[in-house]
Amino acid sequence: MKQIIIRLAAPALLAGLPAAAAAQATPPAPLEQRPIRFPQFAESQLPNGLRLLVVENHALPIANLNLYVRSGSSADPADKLGLAQMTAAVLDKGTATRTAVQISETVEGVGGTMGAGVDQDNITVSVGVLSDQLPLAFELLSDVVLHPTFPQQEMETSRAQQLAALRAALGAPATLALRMFDQQVYGDAHPYGRRSTPQSVGALTREDLVAFHRAHFVPGNALLVVSGDVTPAQAQEMARRWLGGWSGAASSRTALPTPPARERAEIYFVHRPNSVQSSLYVGHMGIQPDDPDYYAVQVLNMVLGLSGDSRLEEVLRAAHGWTYSARSRFTRLVGGGTFSASSDVRSAVTDSALAELMVQLRRIRDEPVPQAELERAKNFLVASFPASVETPAQAAGLLATTRLLGLPAEHLTQYAQRVGAVTAADVQRVAREYLQPERAVLVVVGDGTQVLEKIRPIAPVRVFDVEGRPLDPATLQPAGG
């Protein structure tokens, strides 16, 4: 109420001011837009095939190393799901010359950080230090990447942690929705559609980790990114010293299967008894990394659901009060990403919110985006871009992503200019091409006894339990029922 009063009172206050004073209260014209300068970077390749990317910035005495191995969870064999994640988790927990404690104490002793992580396409090993400790950072990175021993006890600790996380995921509606969404969009045969289970993680052996490391941790399958207070010459000299002896040829990549074609929209309902809200995911396959329509798709997504000012947020949250947040996104993966719109809503409005998501997908295809809305979306994307490359680590991360997707650096360095060139006709064209609500996967996670019958008019429904097993809707009961 206070906000409304202030907005109504402001014009009255200005009306009582002299004309000169009122004119002074008018906001000044915006400054002329300054060109966006992407940080300088250098690229090279070592004789053993390791690619090196350096982003130089001497503003702070900090340096970061990020080694990307282009084999993430999608490289897991179908009968060993969770292998890449386990390999990453245990990689820095012991080498031929250092224990896990010694590695940790060495890094922390110089005020640094070290860790490893995994996504669908890559395993990443990272070290961050003060720049005068850069030689030590290279030494540690080399040690854990080239000489890990995968101690059995450390593996068991990691296994226990991953099993606990998988059990916790069964209680997280949004996680259940995303798992079901990926499974249905990509299909069971596609690596992006598979997820580890307690059974698959429990069956992994130390020998599996050793074999995965031997097959995938080779220089031709890696990208080393160095950023911060370092010159390209320094980075190259240290890379040659610590990683120049790394050897091994990358194995040929297996072609990914084609995701299943869909003839109609279907609802995949995950019954989670006694849920007081429902998690929604609506979408389908998106675009390839090198799609020339990427920039128009970015603007489309900004208009639809990328931020709090986008349509999904305005309609589902501001207009109807059904949710705290509603978003859309296009993912970018080597093997092809997805489009999705998602939200968490109260159980009582599940059917209304799901139907409205479909309405908004059709609306942006069928109606040209008004020019003012288009300009607002483009201005937001362009104005926020500098913040995404504000630090050397941020710029290096975006450059690494671009390179790992097989794209030229210009794809990133010309981002602002290409977004600025997108027209309303471009947005409607890509909306018609890349949004397919009539063939979408609609995932709903919630209490079937409360919402299942209400959503049946929207699309045909298939029902599953929280572990992804088919359920007979006639057997649904609330917890304790």
Task: Say whether pLDDT at 12 is over 50.
Answer: no
Q: Which two tokens stand for residue 263?
A: 């003839």
Instruction: Please give the backbone phi and psi of residue 82, each rounded to the nearest 5 degrees, phi first.
Output: 100, 0
Task: Report which DSSP code applies to 50.
Answer: -
Burial class of residue 119 (count of CB atoms within 10 Å of its CB; 0-12, 13-18, 19+)? middle
3-state class of 109 per DSSP? Answer: helix
Domains plus CATH for the chain?
41-243 (3.30.830.10), 266-475 (3.30.830.10)
> Tell me: the pLDDT tens digits for 336-359?
999 999 999 999 999 999 999 999
> Tell me: the pLDDT tens digits for 146-177?
999 999 999 999 999 999 999 999 889 999 99
Q: Where residue 27 falls among pLDDT bands split at 50, 70, 90?
A: low
Q: Which two tokens stand for residue 96?
A: 């031929």
Nearest Cα to Cα of residue 126 among 100, 107, 149, 153: 107
> Tell me: the pLDDT tens digits for 80-138?
999 999 999 999 999 999 999 999 999 999 999 999 999 999 999 999 999 999 999 99
